[in-house]
Amino acid sequence: MEPENGNDLQGVPDAFQRLWTPHRLVYIQEGTQPADDQCPFCLGPGLTDEQALIVYRGDTCYVLLNLYPYNSGHLLVVPYRHIPNYTDANEAEVAEYGALTQKAMRVLSAVGGAHGFNIGMNQGAVAGAGIAGHLHQHVVPRWRNDSNFFPIIAQTKALPKLLGDVRVEIATAWSQIS
3-state SS class at 95: helix
Catalytic residue among 23, 82, 115, 136: 136
Rounded CA gap, 104 and 76, in Å?
9
Per-residue pLDDT at 162: 78
Residues 6+ apart with CB under 8 A from 67: 40, 53, 163
Torsion region of 44: left, alpha or beta (phi above 0 gives left; psi -120 to 50 gives alpha): alpha
Comparing CA positions, the residue from 159, 119, 138 lying closest to residue 75 is 138
pLDDT beneath 50, residues of the chain = 1-3, 5-7, 9, 27-28, 152-153
Q: Which domains does the chain have, with CATH numbers?
A: 33-174 (3.30.428.10)
Q: Is 136 a catalytic residue?
A: yes
Residue 167 CB neighbour total at 10 angstroms: 21
